Amino acid sequence: MESAAKVMVSTLTNPLRVGLRQERVIPPQCLVIFGASGDLTHRKLVPALFELFVQRRLPSEFAVLGCARRPWSDEEFRQKIEPSLKAAIAAEPEGWQSFSKGLFYEPVDLRKPQDLARLGKRLEQIDRLRATRHNTTFYLSVSPSHYGAGCRALAAAGLLSDPERSRVVIEKPFGTDLASAQELNRLVKTYAQERQIFRIDHYLGKETVQNIMVLRFANTIFEPIWNRNYISSVQITAAETVGVEERAGYYEGSGALRDMVQNHLTQMLAITAMEPPGRFEPETIRNEKAKVLQASRLADIESPWSACVRGQYTRGGSSNRPVTGYREEPGVDPNSTTETYVALKLFIDNWRWQGVPFYLRTGKHLPKRLSEVVLTFRDAPVHLFDAVGGASMANQLVLRIQPDEGANLRFEVKAPGSGMRSRPIEMDFSYDESFGEPSDEGYVRLLADAMLGDPTLFTRNDEVEAAWRLYTPVLDVLEDAPWQLPVHPYEAGTWGPAASDTLLARDDLLWRRP
């Protein structure tokens, strides 16, 4: 009973929830991480794996094989991993002892066939040692330029030959434009079947993004009004309060459009706008996402500059916390024209959404860190009541992706008093308050799904290509006539350049200021 008493620590969490998750069982396997000495492995992947272990969602017959060029031993790899798990290890010291027995390391250079041959032998050894049933998931946490070569090397070593037992997880970005994504897809498909490829987008690992599907397709009250007859506009925002930090080298070549919009925001768009799938199965869902992306277009393809605003943060902040401008950041070209902010107006040419504008925006050094989808409903056809605030406000459904995950519905009610005047109120749902346990971090969910072989939350080749195709007019202008899409400066800590407000003002709309 001693340990039971330990469980009953506080009613802030629901003690009956502790240890109760009914998760699908991950089959025995070896997860091979290429780029094991890198930041992502230490900051995200291994912590996510340890979390899965603590939650008993990893089987005992499991191993992690770290691979990188550094000549580490198994023990060195374990020691390198430890600091990134300090707090988690302190909470679960016995768990770490057990988990770390399944951590191995093999120096591998993906360009050297002899290294791959050695890797194959090492996997055989680990399979015998840990009974991993020949199931292998390869996680390519390496430079995107190595994705194609990595798949080729794995295939040449015979490590992808069994599509039932081997799969490859690839991080974003998947290409830098439509042509490069198509070429990469072609290359990858040469060496593995599409069902073996898991293109990860960590936004899809967020409970709240997945909840958009549940909200829409598990309730009868939303789907009938989820269309152009009732919705007047949709805003999708992913705002960051940080700047480029240590990623200037990468960010200079990518910018906000490639870094955030083509993947994360477009996935949110797809899930918000897709048609209901016939069944909740990976391919039916991915079919619907691909279809809606294929029907999406920039609001003005002929003049992309009228549907897109680019911005770049300048010096700002307060006297206590001054913020450096983008062009002054270490590693950034002082004359850089890379956008740190982008806002776009899109349309979806289908029966459900024809004529409804979708506004996407993302930026760095904005006032708040948040991601949300805002659906604004059409005005009531007749205004019977005076509004307390002068004009009634349209109903609005806000799906908060992060932080304070949840949803919020704004509607009009009678203001207290003798008259019949209306005022808006908000009905709020918060994940933290409604459930007795915290949500998993996105990588926990996605790693588990990849190891389960469930591709539902991973992007398929046609989705990736449709997403790049959607922004090709903008990328073409940036290539051929960049002066048409200048970067508008905005002060760090504000909601972006004024031109971005103008984009909506033309439609008599305003960005939501959360």
Partner 1 sequence: MGLPDFIPKPPDTMTPPPVTLQSPLALPLNEVPSYMERLWDGEDVSRPEGASTFTLLVWQPAWLEQELGRTGGLRGPVTGIQRPELIEAARQAIQQLGLHHATAPFDPALVEALRREPGALQPDDLRGQLIDGRISELQPRRLISVNPLLDRTAPLESQVAAYCPMPEAGAVNTACGDVLVLRGGVPVIAAQLQRIDPLVTPGLPCWVWWNSAPEDSPEVFDRLALPPRRLIIDTSLGDARGGLTLLGQRIRSGQTIYDLNWYRLRSWRESLAMAFDPPSRRSALEQIERIDIDIQGHQFCQGLLLGAWIAAQLGWSLQHSRFDTEGAIHSQFRRPDGATPAMVVSPAPIGMPTPHSGTVVGLRLLTTAAEGPGLCVILCGEAAGCMRLEGGGATQRQLVEHVVPVLDGPLNAEVTRVLSGGHDSTNPLLRMAGCLAAEMLPAS
What SS3 state is found at 160? Answer: coil
Strand duo 231-239 + 358-363: pairing: parallel
Nearer to partner 1 by C-beta: 5 or 382? 5
| Inter-CA distances, 101 with 61, 71, 88, 95, Å | 11, 19, 16, 10
Check: CB of residue 494 under 8 Å from CB of residue 242: no
Give the CA distances from residue 445 to residues 49, 202, 451, in Å, rounded to whole numbers and listed in that order.
Answer: 10, 9, 10
Q: Which of 298, 408, 315, 308 is nearest to 362 (CA)?
A: 308
Type and span of the H or E element at 122? helix 113-130
Name the site residues for partner 1 (rule: CB under 8 A): 1, 3-5, 7-8, 11-12, 14-20, 22, 25-28, 56, 58-61, 127-128, 131-134, 158, 161-165, 433-436
Question: Parallel, antiparallel, or unpaired for β 421-430 and 386-387?
Answer: parallel
Classify residue 454 as exposed, middle or buried by CB count within 10 Å of its CB (0-12, 13-18, 19+). Answer: middle
Reply yes or no: is the peptide bond before residue 173 cis, omega within 30 of 0.
Answer: yes
Q: Are 339 and 363 within 8 A, CB to CB?
A: no
Distance of CA 86 to the CA centre of its chain: 26
Identify whether the C-beta of residue 443 lies closer than 8 Å to the C-beta of residue 45. yes
Chain-centroid distance of CA 210 in Å reads 11
202 is catalytic: no
Q: How many CB atoms lie within 10 A of CB 27?
A: 15
* Rounded Cα distance, 317 and 321, in Å: 6
> Which residue's entry shows tokens 């498909």?
189
Token digits of residue 163: 């599509």
- Minimum CB distance to partner 1, residue 24 (Å): 8
Identified catalytic residue from 42, 134, 146, 264: 264
**Nearest one of 104, 170, 159 to 134, comparing CA atoms:** 159
Query: 392, 380 in Cβ contact below 8 A?
Result: yes
Active-site positions? 264
